[in-house]
Structure 1
Amino acid sequence: MSINPNDKLRLFFALWPDDAVKTALMQLQAPMQGRWIPYGNLHLTLAFLGMQPASVVTTAKEILAQLQPRDETLVIDKVGYFPRNRVAWAGTHQVPDGLASLEQELHSALSARGIAYDRHGTFKPHITLARDASLPADIVFDPIVWRAHHVVLVQSVTGSDGSVYEVVASRSLHDPAQGGNASS
């Protein structure tokens, strides 16, 4: 991916689910009314940076590379709804300590480097399933177990068909031997 240094990019950090988790999430979408989030865009946002100068990408990659290794398992066991934004989502009944710690580490690193990001109060980790959605019916489902260790820096590109998410850099936090190298 080539980036012009004069560009402004819409960026965010996220946990990126594997194919099995994305497939299970898509099954939760089936009964929902609204605009389903495409398979390739399913994620859990850790930090939304919004519009940033392209020069931030280098620093963001460094932050990604320096995140502490951890092995977090999330149990997606809840479907919810944000009525104000009309968003149907999946998440956990309780935020695991490791996930809260990862989010805090990321926000501290962004603040220390003077990179602005959106922070709306308490961290409410969720995977958006549908936008412009109606309140979903009660959905009974087997919890989705997600070994959530794949963190990515993503650029959101808006086109005529909606947003497409392009991974700018990624990193597995599972393998401590990986060290601080983020792939681009």
Structure 2
Amino acid sequence: MQQNTGRLFFALWPDDAVARQLADRQAALQGGRKTHARDFHLTLAFLGVQPLESLPDLRRVVDEIAFSPMSLILDRYGEFERQKVVWAGMGNVPQGLPELRRRLLDMPALARLAFRREAGFVPHVTLARKTHPPQMHFEAIDWRAARLALAESAGGEAVPRYRLLACREA
């Protein structure tokens, strides 16, 4: 019988200073289920549930992918209305971000896996669920994104909800 992992994803993970700034912007939200400060991340590829034997290859991706730090300016609240998700996003997405995502999706370890490769990439950091964005200015956050991670969703009511399986500072 094949054992499976939890829900896996690759993401850029902020440092503590950026996480604190995201938590400050999150404070303006009314109600909802707020993201724990240690769970803030920008998903590059959501892999879903994968076979346990794929983990060593996926961990290697973090070490092998060409990746340099990039400046991301989070400067706005956004919302996925249907899902009632409020997020922090960018007015100008640097070219390097979708390029990093493309390189990631082209890695041989991912090519062998079955998962949904979303065509529309909306780079964002989830701030809360089951709420709406505030009608106020978002004070910009300058994030030097230098940490790439493979993470797993712990599921349930665990806090923080995500566990880093591999992580690399560029």
TM superposition score normalised by structure 1: 0.84
1:31 aligns with 2:35: no
Match of residue 9 from structure 1 = 6
1:67 aligns with 2:65: yes
1:108-133 alpha-carbon deviations (Å, 9 max, x no partner): 11576312233222211000000111
Which aligned segments of 4 or more residues in structure 1 are displaced greater than 4 angstroms? none
1:5-52 alpha-carbon deviations (Å, 9 max, x no partner): 834321100000001100000111112131100111110001000011
1:47 aligns with 2:12: no
1:62-101 pair list within 5 angstroms: 62-101=60-99
Instruction: Write the letter of the residue equivalent to 1:74.
Output: L
- Offset at residue 65 of structure 1 (A): 1.3
Match of residue 21 from structure 1 = 18
- Offset at residue 54 of structure 1 (A): 1.1
| Cα contact 2:38–2:160 (8 A) shared by 1 | no
Instruction: Write the letter of the residue equivalent to 1:89.
Output: W
Runs (5+) with no aligned partner, structure 2:
none
Instruction: Write the letter of the residue equivalent to 1:97.
Output: Q
Partners of 2:109 and 2:40 in 1: how far apart? 26
- 1:147 pairs, out of 144, 147, 167, with 144
- Offset at residue 101 of structure 1 (A): 0.7
TM superposition score normalised by structure 2: 0.91
1:74-113 alpha-carbon deviations (Å, 9 max, x no partner): 0001111110110000010122101111111001115763
Runs (5+) with no aligned partner, structure 1:
174-184
Partners of 1:48 and 1:86 in 2: how far apart? 19
Partners of 1:123 and 1:59 in 2: how far apart? 24
Aligned residues: 168
- Matched residue SS, 2:155: strand
